[in-house]
Structure 1
Amino acid sequence: MRPRAPEVGPERLSLRAALRADVRAGLHAAAARARTTTARLAATTLRLLWPPGPRHGAALFAMGVAALGCYGMSFYSTLPERLPTALDWRSAAALLARDARPGDAVALAPWWSERAREVLPASFPVLAFPRLAGEDLVGVRRVWLLSLPGAPGHRPDLERDLGARASAVIGPERLGGLEVARYDLRTPTVPLAFLPDLLATATVSIGGRSCARGARGRFRCPAPPSVVVAREVREVDSLPRPCLCARPPPEPGTPLTIAFPAVPLGRALRGHTGIAGEAALAGAGSIRLSVKVDEEDIGATEVPPARPGWQAFQLDTSRQAGRVGTVTFTVTAAKVDRRDLCFDAYTLPE
């Protein structure tokens, strides 16, 4: 029978632990001293081999420029390998054409990869936005995220924004230099009516005089210079916005009226206003947009001068919910204004 090892008391265990701690501390201190000594020796050697002088800084600058040049050449030489080919784009277009359904849209990452518009079906809405966290995404139930993971400037911002709003995520699926993922939105904004799409049914007048309906649903009003009301995609705050575009009448205070008949109404009328293009940085006064439902004022919003943005508004229509009515927008300006007002509006269900 093997003899039992003598038991070690807690005092001896504490002593051993203290000794191990002292040894570890000594080793760490020695390593730190060695690193410091090595750095000092390297600096001293560099000064001996290459003494500082007037040309020292110039040489370092030249070395930095050369390093950046090498990096740039390497970057551009490998860029074609990291970008999608024509076959990759066709594969993505075929996948979306096969699996898409009404209520789908495509988001681009990076958002400036406009090549997608050339290959995707024309009926596919394209969301070319750097972020989607604050966007209403009107009428969109599912978002297909088309990503170029190897492209310069690619960031996961859109993946995070859509992931926070999704009830399910399918993918991503790799197609060469592209990735395709589908995000099913948890609470999509599905309106009863999106009024810019109903412009063909509207009546437009300026100062009580009717405006003639022209080609492609545009209205031209008899005012010198002429005032045009149209459904367009305009740049507002550097982003594309589908909207009703109208310039206030040339005479301050003269109303421009746009009336939509038989609009299905719900709990609210929601929309946005902004000034198209660089004119948003100018302006002498505010542009006012007031709203009526069946001749009853329900609210108004104003676009101030020199304040770019796509500003949201929401007006209560719960009293009119469940029926159809005439929604009338009136545009006025207190001063002469040559800016184009861009606005959208849609009715939300109960």
Structure 2
Amino acid sequence: MIHGHGDDLYKYKNVEMNFSTNIFNHFDHSRLFAYLSEKLPLITSYPEPAPASLERAIARQTGVEADCIMVTNGATEAIYLIAQCFSGKTQHILQPTFAEYGDACSMYGSRIHTLSKITPSDRFGNNDTVWFCNPNNPTGTVTDHDVVSAVISNNPDTLFIIDQSYSHYTLKRTLQPRECTRQGNVLLLNSMTKDFGIPGLRLGFVTASRRLISLLRSHRMPWSVNSLAICAGMFLLKHHEDYSIDTAALCSERERVGRLIEELGIMTYPSDSNMLLCRLPESDAATLKEFLVASHSILIRDASNFETLTPQHFRIAVQTREENDKLIKSLEEWMKQ
């Protein structure tokens, strides 16, 4: 899907508060900017054909072997590579969720089956793959770690693709890299984009067994990760303490914001992260989005194009308390019209 994602900031000139992305927008990148400015001469040469140096650095940090890590041009490149590698399988996708899972599988002609939930009693076959996002986008909910572990163990011949791009934004327990390398049927997706607030650089990585990573690597094209992105990744890993996310504070603020939005007559859904899925009682999210941009320089995510959702659905990710209060005041103005 080219159009219809959140963070479509490029369409607007006057946005001052961005709630449309699931990323916290207030990291201090000044040191990263200064570091990358010194690395600009690298753009005159080709990058590593495969970003092996960054893969080794991530492996050291996560405590797994470098042969179990594959760095990609954002998690989205990994999604399409996985869909290509396993195109002959039936793809089960937990909905509503990130559209690229289904789009990638459709591109390679796979059969797609929609799931509404995942339980330990679920049984899949050896020609099946199961995709889910944990925490999920757009709901922010987390499938319990024990449930995830049980369904993986109970289906050893089924491949599970688990996107944990937002794992730093929840207090709930999620899978750890070492757990996934021990399993022969799990591909774990992570996103430095979300962890460090750098969506424009496109950095993601996959953790899995050596066998699965070797298969994925055989399908990737050379030079997919550029030199500046590799340098940024190395810098961020070295200085990761400077980019810690106060997850508890964000989740507490999401609870507060959710209560206040409910008081306006707008439905909100349970969440375990910084995201909040909402539903208007009438009108539509697309109109609300344009109103907020034009009148208050606020950008939200029109969530109507997520499978199973409606034109009334929108999504936000909480930011600072001051910004959140401005959003609530703007929503109150909209609801009184």
TM-score, structure 1 normalization = 0.27
Higher fraction of strand: 1
TM-score, structure 2 normalization = 0.28
Rg larger for: 1
Larger RCO (alpha carbons 8 Å, 6+ apart):
2
